[in-house]
Homo-oligomer: A and B are copies of this chain.
Amino acid sequence: MKVISSVKKMQSFSGELRDSGKRIAFVPTMGYFHEGHLQLMKEARKMADSVITSIYVNPTQFGPKEDFSKYPRDFERDHQMAESVGVDVIFYPTDKEMYPAGYQTYVDVEKVTQNLCGLSRPGHFRGVTTVCCKLFNIVKPHVAVFGKKDFQQYVTIRRMVEDLNMDLEIVGVLTIREADGLAMSSRNKYLQKIERPSALTLSKALKLAQKLYAGGERNASVIISKAEKLIAKSPYTLIDYIKICDAETLKDVDTIRRPAVMALAVKVGATRLIDNHVFGEKLEI
């Protein structure tokens, strides 16, 4: 497996792959891999001749009071894990390489970024779309693979790619969960043992919501209010949002008609967790 840190080298490496007719699948990440990341890489492996993953904790998507500096990092471990699932190249740039002096260009997806995490993390998605736009231009993939755990990110990237006519396919992969239902996330590392049962209320609320939906309930506020109660009664939890939105526009819906997603963000102790479920899709909890 190759590690490339220079933008120019990555670009010419990918350019040569493309010129020789190879298909490239790309998994952009912030590193500190868990089974969810590996699943994305395994999916990527099936779709292409070359699998490239990037490890880059992107400063522009963190707010000034967020966890950029303490975001977990472990390159050696990531390197081994990526190799174990057949990744061909890790793109591992520095901040200076990605945002050199004089940097001043940003990509904004205006509407789908307004609701949900956009409300509590201003500027977050602008950072995500900008870095993904850059990474796509550097890695030149035919297909890029994203986890649906970050559902709003997945919808936003799809929108950017379509709007800016980027010639690549975005594939979303269902959330991978721990045996107890907790959605895999690098931030789970922050959780104290005593907070774990509270962290499980997110997936339990989604399971309850899916059950209500399966039973015929289509009124969003009925479902939300039951989920809210389930989570709020657990200690250490502070609900940021629980919403049901159109799965494409991410606008709040009152009644579930078109494909809809239930999305939630909850602080459990000091750790902000997110999770979601598209009604009718598979939910293995």
Could you tell me which A residues sit within 8 Å of B by CB distance? 7, 11, 15, 19, 21, 102-112, 129-130, 133-134, 137-138, 140, 159-160, 163-167, 249
Contacts and interface: CB of A to CB of B under 8 A. Distances in A.
Contacts of A164: 105, 107, 130, 133-134, 137
Nearest to A165: B137
Contact of A104 (B103, B112, B165): B112
A112 B138 CA distance: 23
29 contacts: A11-B165, A11-B167, A15-B167, A19-B21, A102-B159, A104-B109, A104-B110, A104-B111, A104-B159, A105-B108, A105-B110, A105-B159, A105-B160, A105-B163, A105-B164, A106-B107, A106-B108, A106-B110, A107-B107, A107-B108, A107-B164, A108-B108, A130-B164, A133-B164, A134-B165, A137-B165, A137-B167, A138-B165, A140-B167
Nearest to A12: B167
A149 B68 CA distance: 43
Copies of this polypeptide in the complex: 2
Contacts of A166: 137
A164 B167 CA distance: 15
A260 to B, nearest CB: 17
Contacts of A134: 163-165
Contacts of A112: 104
Contacts of A137: 164-167
Nearest to A21: B19
A30 to B, nearest CB: 18
User: What 10 A-B pairs come out closest when comparing CB atoms?
Assistant: A105-B163, A137-B165, A104-B110, A104-B111, A105-B109, A138-B165, A134-B165, A106-B108, A105-B160, A137-B166
Nearest to A111: B104
Nearest to A10: B165
A111 B102 CA distance: 9
A261 B140 CA distance: 36
A130 B107 CA distance: 9
Contacts of A133: 164
A221 to B, nearest CB: 26
Nearest to A11: B167
Given A19-B21, A104-B109, A137-B167, 7 more contacts: A7-B165, A11-B167, A106-B110, A108-B108, A130-B164, A134-B164, A140-B167
Question: Which of A21, A137, A160 has the most B CB atoms < 10 Å from its CB?
Answer: A137
A169 to B, nearest CB: 13
Nearest to A97: B165
A59 to B, nearest CB: 15
Nearest to A168: B137
Question: Which of A7, A102, A165 has the most B CB atoms < 10 Å from its CB?
Answer: A165
